[in-house]
A and B are shown apart, each in its own frame.
Chain A
Amino acid sequence: MKEYAEAPRTSLSHSRPKLSLPKLHAGFPWVAPSWPTSLERTVAQKVGVDYDTAWARRYGVRLVRALLLENLTRPALRILADPAVCGMDRLEALEAPAVFAANHCSHLDAPLILTSLPARLRYRTVVSAAADYFFDRPWKAKVSAGLIGAIPTERQRVNRRSMDLAAELLGEGWNLVVFPEGGRSPDGWARDFGGVAAYLAQRCGVPVVPVHVEGTGEILGKRRPGLRRGTTKVSFGRPISAEGLTTRRLGEQVSSAVTALADEATTDWWSARLRAGAAANPAITGPEVASWRRAWALGGGARRESTDWPKR
């Protein structure tokens, strides 16, 4: 027997659909259009070092970023990284703007430094970030610039544009966080500091603040996938004025200041000062030996054990 359900379903009413939400596989214009095959793409999307981050420094965006930093990033870092901050007193006399030069172990370094900075500097600070990593795709560029105020920096070679931008921002009174190693540590030991911080400080006549970050590599390191809880320590050194120093000399001073801060973070201030006087702080770059020995050297003593979470 033929059932009524087989009758063609036609609707006589031509009422509009009530709500037209995008379908799951909605096409243009819900998603970006594809280009006609016959056309060469003339309007290249500007990414990498050419990405324009000016929008991220507009008042509204800064306000949103500050709100996120205070209400999202800071509590998250407190749970995850339990940061201890020392050396804040050394920043009291600092006249902004300044270049903050830090060692680099983890993606957490930048947000950690930002949240640790005194409020008067915190919201007028940009972070120099690798153009080829943080700005290679439009969405990454937007997240980086929007969330931490990153500006793209070419790390493979010296790029005038990125240096000009950083100098311009310093000139406008923005503080700049740079990681002179040019990337996160691949093995836990720091790498040699490049001259970026010193060059910019010299060019703009601003002081460099050495910063040491300790422990972030254990939480979110380059080698180790996943997040673990841990404790961290952020130490600010005494600002180093660029006046009367060559770029090279300034770079060396910054590098040794960070080394001393690293020593101080794991021992005590006086011992570190003593060794600094003798230029004998343990190098944060580690011994120049075979890789297994470098790893071995990291295994005990100087580095803390990671704590399991949740605790047993």
Chain B
Amino acid sequence: MSSRRPGFVLEVDRSTPPTLFWHGEAFRLERLPAGSRVIYPPEPLPALADPDAAIAHALAHPVGDSAPLADLLSPGMRLTIAFDDVSTCLPPMRQPDNRQRVIEAVLELAAAAGVDDVVLVAALALHRRMTEAELRQALGNRIYDAFAPSGRLTQHDAEDPGNLIHLGATELGEEVELNKRAATSDLIVYVNINLVAMDGGHKSVATGLASYRSLRHHHNVRTMQRSRSFMDQPHSELHSSNWRMGRFIASSGVKVFQIETTLNNDTFPSQFNFLQRREWEWSARDRASYLAVSAALDRTPDRLARSIFHSIRSPHSMSGVTAGEVEAVHAQTTEHIHRAHLVPVQGQTDILTMGLPYVGPYNVNSIMNPILVMCLGLGYFFNMYRGRPLVRPGGVLIMSHPTPWAFNPVHHPSYIDFFEQVLTETTDPMEIEAKYEESFATDPWYIHLYRTSNAYHGVHPFYMWYWGAHALEHLGGVIVVGGNRRAVRRLGFKPASTLADALEMAEDIVGRDPSITHLHAPPLLLADVT
């Protein structure tokens, strides 16, 4: 794109065409009341012309207190390359993935330096293990075929007592327990994809390679309620804790060479161009493809629609790559992500509306179950702010998603039980944490499935719920448009058939003539609210 336009805030008037809302594996066109605001994301940053050259340059010219990577590699050393899992690049990007490009570059240097002992580890934390197809997608066949057969392509196992090491505790008593292979290596090279501002920095190693014992110190309700938002590192307790741990890890002698890559915001392939365009600029072709896609989706069974959407490969391009010392790298990455995502917004709103898409970080190739709907809406999208939340305290969040009563039993077994046995009792994060977290976290069945199958850890649905804890505390009400009524009620939210009804219902909470703001995402944006 020749001239990239920044994100902006539209004030809806009576000439404004209806606004596009995501609705799971579908879309809605909704007419917002005049006076509403719509926040549009910035247009994509230009892609790097030669990503491989940029990577090579970054590795040779690291930032912060770090030598070039080539100088850190020597024969006989133990090298562990950790990389982000399936949750960071949404939708999965077209090959070659950033991780493939970077890791290949790192491996070239390692080979040149004569490093024999190299292990790759997917930094899963408590996420599900990646499938072979997903690993091949992320790393490419060259790496997979070279490392997987000999068992040198591993996935972090936070429940493997034989491969965890307890390094100690931070000054605030936060225990640090990490992947042993990584922590005892001479060098960890961590390869990131930073999709949103939350990713990366010390969170990479301190979270991605940690165990439940370590994670519970920052993955809890108290921390999440004090992370305002967790997309804004200086004001995020989640990150403060991770930074303490990260510095502790460094002081324990674990050497980390961090490589962070950023993506431009070019999220959807050309068939879905209308998703990235402002409605009044839709060409005849955009309109035709919207109509065709909508009509086709209407007639497609849910399962098929899901698999079609999950087969989308995003044209994301690498827009930046930085390597070196963790904090210096992350400062540059954050600056870059802000350039890609920040949209200045003046003042808060009474009602925030959003359309939730079919995919979030935790349902790649899977079903967006009701708990993930909550997490995506109240966790991620609500927290897409810097400064103050987009919606005022006591305001209402309206989100549009079908919220099906459906779960992927392979990926989310503990979610089902959480939904059936915890949410029927209470939706209060504090109470849930106190009463149920431990029993789910230590349940041998979930641990077994996490370690051997492709299941999220038993405690993961709790984290999803904690992710929304700040929003639950902040909001006066949550309304879901077009969702399964029983499922929405179980989440503790109110179901509404149409946006108009939802707005009427919201007026009961925020009063007549409320201000309304719509978050027009994805493509993602980060509202800089003043």
Contact = CB atoms under 8 A, between A and B. Distances in A.
B308 interface: no
B279 A34 contact: no
B284 A20 contact: no
A37 B15 CA distance: 6
A39 interface: yes
A38 B284 CA distance: 22
Nearest to A33: B17
Contact of A38 (B13, B282, B290, B298): B13
Nearest to A34: B15
A32 B288 CA distance: 10
Nearest to B10: A36
A277 interface: no
Contacts of B291: 29-30
Contacts, number: 51
Interface residues of B, number: 21
A30 B18 CA distance: 12
Interface in A1-39: 16, 20, 27-30, 32-39
B17 A39 contact: no
Nearest to B289: A29
Contacts of B29: 28-29
Contacts of B18: 27-28
A35 B279 CA distance: 9
6 contacts: A16-B298, A28-B17, A28-B282, A29-B17, A32-B287, A37-B15
A43 interface: yes
Contacts of A29: 17, 29, 282, 286-287, 290-291
A269 to B, nearest CB: 52
Contacts of B284: 32
A30 B16 CA distance: 15
Interface in B1-39: 10-18, 29
- Closest 3 interchain pairs by CB? A33-B17, A29-B287, A36-B16
Contact of B280 (A20, A27, A30, A35): A35
Contacts of A32: 282, 284, 287
Contacts of A43: 281
A33 B11 CA distance: 16
Given A28-B282, A29-B287, A36-B11, 20 more contacts: A16-B298, A27-B18, A28-B29, A29-B29, A30-B291, A32-B287, A33-B17, A34-B15, A34-B16, A34-B17, A35-B16, A35-B280, A36-B10, A36-B13, A36-B15, A36-B16, A36-B280, A37-B15, A38-B10, A39-B10
Interface in B277-308: 279-282, 284, 286-287, 290-291, 295, 298
A33 B282 contact: yes
A139 to B, nearest CB: 11
B282 A39 contact: no
Contacts of B286: 29
Contacts of B279: 28, 33
A28 B298 CA distance: 18
B11, B16, B279, B284, most chain A CB atoms within 10 A: B16
A35 B15 contact: yes
Contacts of B287: 28-30, 32-33
A33 B298 contact: no
B455 to A, nearest CB: 36
Contacts of B14: 37
A29 B11 CA distance: 20
B412 to A, nearest CB: 29
Number of contact residues on A: which range applies?
Answer: 10 to 19
Given A28-B17, A29-B291, A34 B280 contact: yes
A33 B16 CA distance: 8
Contacts of A38: 10-11, 13
A32 B286 CA distance: 10
B274 to A, nearest CB: 8
Contacts of B295: 20
Given A29-B291, A30-B287, A34-B15, A39 B280 contact: yes
Contacts of A33: 17, 279-280, 282, 287
Contacts of B10: 36, 38-39
Interface string A25-69: 001111011111111000100000000000000000000000000
A297 to B, nearest CB: 50
A16, A33, A35, A37, most chain B CB atoms within 10 A: A33
A38 B13 CA distance: 8
Nearest to B282: A33
B497 to A, nearest CB: 10
B351 to A, nearest CB: 20
Interface in B322-376: none
B460 to A, nearest CB: 35
Contacts of A20: 295, 298
Interface string B193-233: 00000000000000000000000000000000000000000
Contacts of A37: 13-16
Interface string A266-288: 00000000000000000000000
Nearest to B286: A29
B12, B17, B295, most chain A CB atoms within 10 A: B17
Nearest to B12: A36
B293 to A, nearest CB: 11
A20 B29 CA distance: 15
A29, A38, A39, most chain B CB atoms within 10 A: A29
Nearest to B17: A33
Contacts of A39: 10, 280
A28 B284 CA distance: 11
Contacts of B13: 36-38
B292 to A, nearest CB: 11
Contacts of B11: 36, 38
Nearest to B288: A29
Nearest to A29: B287
Contacts of A34: 15-17, 280
A291 B421 CA distance: 97
Interface string B254-289: 000000000000000000000000011110101100
B488 to A, nearest CB: 17
Contacts of A36: 10-13, 15-16, 280
